[in-house]
Amino acid sequence: MMEIVIRIQRCVRKAPPLITLPSDLEIAQSATMLPMDDVAAQLGIPAEYLVPYGRNVAKVDPSVTDLFTDRAPGKYVVVTAITPTPLGEGKTTTAVGLAQGMKQIGRSSVLTLRQPSMGPTFGIKGGAAGAGYSQVLPMEQLNLHLTGDFHAVTAAHNLLAAMIDNHLHHGNALDIDIDSIQWRRVLDVNDRSLRNIVIGLGGKADGVTRQSGFDITAASEVMTTLSLSTSLEDLRERLGRIVIGRNRAGKFITAEDLDAAGAMTVILRDAVWPNLLQTTENTPVLIHCGPFGNIATGNSSVIADRVGLRTAEFVITEAGFGADMGAERFFNVKCRVGQALPAAAVLVVTVRALKAHSGRFKIVPGKKLPDELLMENPDDVLAGMENLRKHIKIVQDFGVQPVIAINAFPSDYASEHEVIREVAREMMVRCAVSTHVMNGGAGAVELAEQVALAAEEPTNFRYTYELDWSLQEKINAVATKVYGADGVTYAPLAAKNLKAFADAGYGNLPVVIAKTHLSVSSDPKLKGAPTGWTLPVREVRLAAGAGYVYAIAGDMTTMPGLGNSPAAERIDIDDEGRVVGLF
């Protein structure tokens, strides 16, 4: 009887008042930053391996790893999450907090993250530098241009597009089938009006008229190619392998065939070097590349990770979306290319997100949260727990030790955290509550300690598939072993393309599956850990430069649009020339 009374009291109890922090921008602008030489010195990187970019950013010469060949590589830790919700789980800020927490317990670490795209920065999502007292600095520079790497990718990508159309205009000596060309143009701005366009309008001197379009720069194959390259020389070779279409005889046409890869490499020469920044507590951060988390890997660069693995005890990196997408590609694609095996994985979860996965609340991006969501109710948390269980199993199936990171909000209740801890005990995984947004590294000490312990435990890492399997076998393995699908169906065009790619010698590449990030399944409406469903592959495309084949299961938007009230409307400068309105 007593237990029933307590439960009723919890359900009707009002949420506590929210604790107000200064804005992320205010915290960032008030932080004290170290000179870049001092930030680099924490990793043992000499000043001569830095190229300063302003006062608070520097590019790092990747050859610095040659100084540390006699040092054992650091521990590789990937930060992933449960299936994303409109509330956001806070992977980036948790990764920042963890790096700061490592410093608090006397362990050296470096954080390796993707560079934010300016499209979402000016759209709905806002910046991606972290939050509260766990941010990457300088926050404004990180979210707005940084060192121009995105612009270099944009220019290299569009140069190839221009050379394709120039080749068509001057007689098409390669006999390119115009209808087969899949190389569109890119721009780092959300602009839905450019998704589908007609180019070459006007007179004969204005080029060949054909249908094309724009993607956002993060979706460029050049971006993913840069992120998966191991050196400038490797980048040059990969760019040459990019396939833009076919000739009328069916032969694949590459950037090398168009003599474009050399000039593209020259444009990207400086972009190969990672960017060194720091957190609000001066922990080193390497920011490099920003591949799309859906049709691409959604991970930062191999080069940045290699620098980190030679210079720090722990390399903490982040994978896009949930463990079914970003972490799967980190394990199956990036770890293969970088030839580095993970020591542990951090699985970020929030009480709010688990309540959202219960299906009991209607949550609309940009709208006020339901009052009931903020009230103490462990049952609502438990109702969404199947999604967490599924992501724990995904990580465990790779032979990696997961650590659950509860990204705590002031409105959470200890009883709700305890429900998550109980599931962690049941599944025999480590768990920690982290208050890094409120308290910086001091709030992430428990998390840092648990990750350090997990990273010392033996691993039995295993890939989902072997590279000598057929492309269909690889796709089927990811769908059934990772997602939990019953199987895969292939549209006729998809089956035809798979055969063509294999016949052309691309059958040994890894695979990426482009599906919704809102569910472990291919249906965004299916919550939790869906079973009894089949993955429908409607199209398969080749990213030969990046080095994978990607299957498309669902509708993919590679050029976002701006919302009714985009963040760009509120971003400005004040009387002193400082940025305001960025979040």
Q: In the predicted model, what is the mean pLDDT of residues 67-92?
A: 92
> Quick one: which of 331, 334, 330, 284 has its CA closest to 311?
284
Which of the 8 DSSP states describes residue 318? E
The span from the CA of 335 to the CA of 463, in Å, is: 10
Tell me, what's the pLDDT at 12?
A: 42
Tell me, what's the pLDDT at 366?
A: 67
Q: Are 79 and 259 in contact (CB under 8 A)?
A: no
Tell me, what's the pLDDT at 448?
A: 98
Q: In the predicted model, what is the mean pLDDT of residues 97-110?
A: 98
Of the pLDDT bands very low, low, confident and very high (cuts 50, 70, 90), residue 8 is very low
CATH homologous superfamily for the domain 149-270: Domain 2, N(10)-formyltetrahydrofolate synthetase (3.30.1510.10)
The rounded percent of the chain whose pLDDT value lies above 90 is 81
Q: In the predicted model, what is the mean pLDDT of residues 48-71?
A: 96
Residue type, 73: P
Q: In the predicted model, what is the mean pLDDT of residues 135-144?
A: 93
Of the pLDDT bands very low, low, confident and very high (cuts 50, 70, 90), residue 542 is very high
Whether 438 shows a pLDDT value over 90: the answer reads yes
Sequence spans of domains, the chain = 2-144+279-456, 149-270, 471-552
> Quick one: which of 373, 420, 513 has its CA closest to 85?
373
Tell me, what's the pLDDT at 5?
A: 35
- Residue 255 C-alpha from the chain's centroid: 26
Instruction: Please give the class, per CATH, of domain 471-552.
Output: alpha beta
Does domain 2-144+279-456 sit in CATH 3.40.50.300?
A: yes
Q: Are 82 and 348 in contact (CB under 8 A)?
A: yes
pLDDT of 338-351, one tens digit each?
A: 999 999 999 999 99
Tell me, what's the pLDDT at 373?
A: 84
What are the residues facing 548 on neighbouring strands? 543
Question: Sign of dihedral through CA atoms 193, 198, 203, 207?
Answer: positive
Whether 18 shows a pLDDT value over 60: the answer reads no
pTM: 0.93
What is the pairing mode between strands 50-52 and 58-60? antiparallel
Q: Are 529 and 485 in contact (CB under 8 A)?
A: no
Tell me, what's the pLDDT at 6?
A: 32
Both tokens of residue 203?
A: 């007179």
Q: Are 316 and 97 in contact (CB under 8 A)?
A: no
Tell me, what's the pLDDT at 60?
A: 98
What are the residues facing 582 on neighbouring strands? none
Tell me, what's the pLDDT at 371?
A: 83
Tell me, what's the pLDDT at 19?
A: 66
Of the pLDDT bands very low, low, confident and very high (cuts 50, 70, 90), residue 21 is confident
pLDDT of 215-245, one tens digit each?
A: 999 999 999 999 999 999 999 999 999 999 9
Between 307 and 575, name the one with better pLDDT: 307
User: Is residue 577 exposed (0-12), middle (13-18) or buried (19+ Cβ within 10 Å)?
Assistant: exposed
Tell me, what's the pLDDT at 4?
A: 32
What is the pairing mode between strands 572-573 and 579-580? antiparallel
What stretches of 443-497 adopt beta strand conformation (E)? Answer: 487-490
Whether 197 shows a pLDDT value over 80: the answer reads yes
The rounded percent of the chain whose pLDDT value lies above 70 is 96
The span from the CA of 86 to the CA of 206, in Å, is: 44
Which residues are CB-contacts of 191 (< 8 A; sequence separation ≥ 6)? 214, 559, 561, 562
485 φ, ψ (degrees, to nearest 5)? -75, 160
For the stretch 256-262, contacts whose Cβ atoms lie closer than 8 Å and that sit 24 or more positions apart, written own/partner, are 257/174, 258/160, 258/163, 258/164, 258/167, 258/174, 259/163, 260/159, 260/160, 260/163, 261/236, 262/236
Residue type, 204: K
Q: Are 326 and 293 in contact (CB under 8 A)?
A: yes
pLDDT averaged over every residue in the chain: 92
Which of 114-118, 381-385, 566-570 has the lowest average pLDDT? 566-570
Q: In the predicted model, what is the mean pLDDT of residues 543-559?
A: 92
Of the pLDDT bands very low, low, confident and very high (cuts 50, 70, 90), residue 359 is confident
Whether 86 shows a pLDDT value over 80: the answer reads no
The span from the CA of 518 to the CA of 18, in Å, is: 28
The span from the CA of 518 to the CA of 294, in Å, is: 11
Q: Are 558 and 215 in contact (CB under 8 A)?
A: yes
Query: Which H or E run includes 120?
Result: helix 118-121
The span from the CA of 535 to the CA of 522, in Å, is: 6
> Does the bond joining 17 to the residue before it have cis omega, within 30 degrees of 0?
no
- For the chain, the straight-line distance linking the first and the last C-alpha, in angstroms and rounded, comes to 48
Residues in the chain: 583
The span from the CA of 571 to the CA of 582, in Å, is: 6
Of the pLDDT bands very low, low, confident and very high (cuts 50, 70, 90), residue 462 is very high
Q: HSE of 419 in the Cβ direction (CA atoms, 13 Å)?
A: 23
The span from the CA of 32 to the CA of 8, in Å, is: 48
Between 569 and 493, name the one with better pLDDT: 493
Which of the 8 DSSP states describes residue 73? P
The span from the CA of 423 to the CA of 393, in Å, is: 12
pLDDT of 115-130, one tens digit each?
A: 999 888 887 766 778 8
Whether 441 shows a pLDDT value over 80: the answer reads yes
